[in-house]
Copies of this chain bind each other. A is one copy, B any other.
């Protein structure tokens, strides 16, 4: 569902620059990263965010070289996090896995790892947030050594049971303030935060700590909690408005298209990439 009102508003804000378009490998999950890199480059996409499943069986250094050889910028590695568990041994495993992600990021040559921080139905949310701070602080020495940023991504409250206990920009800002380290910032995904009346003020508060900006759209109806995201312009998120806020806060990085959609994954991925480029030009 295109929204004429917001298209109009967008034009007064200026278009998102073509050289800031980045696509997540998870958006085109049916393509191997090699096919994805070639197809993104052929479509004029500027950046790529690598999901860890796309690295499976591959040398991350070679993946990074291939990305750069194709003329693409490696933007982020998705995803670390999942620091929360009632079980201390499981939390230690999560820390080790995040260290692996940081090493992979450094090997690829991406500046940051995006964190889906974790939640567990058996852990109270306040406790979960303490465990998240503990997990991030545990991996910070390695992040410092390798110069890798960590971006806390607030997730939609519908994921507060099992995916993240950080569900608003305010909460992400609070944790970032607590950790207070130049390598720790926030990834703003419009899908997760668009509904929040405090969004503009909390984006402003985040300021230069905004490390990443993800776009897609909220479909009405949304038929599945995880894999029914829309392409930009298909839903009700005022993306250009939110982009104007993150830019006013000082962000000038990539606009990353992250769409989980069983519907789109079932389609021809090359034609789909063209649709993404088109939707980016019109609705971001």
Contact = CB atoms under 8 A, between A and B. Distances in A.
A125 B161 contact: no
Q: State the number of copies, please.
A: 2
B124 A238 contact: yes
B125 A197 contact: yes
A1 B161 CA distance: 12
Interface stretch (A14-22, A60-68, A215-223): A215-223
Interface string A1-16: 1010100000000000
A162 B195 contact: no
Contact of A156 (B157, B220, B222): B157
A281 interface: no
Interface residues of A, number: 33
Contacts of A118: none
Contacts of A157: 156-158, 195-196
A226 to B, nearest CB: 9
A77 B272 CA distance: 47
B3 A220 contact: no
Contacts of A171: 197
Contacts of A124: 5, 238
A141 interface: no
Nearest to A122: B3
Closest CB pairs A-B (n = 3): A121-B236, A160-B195, A157-B195
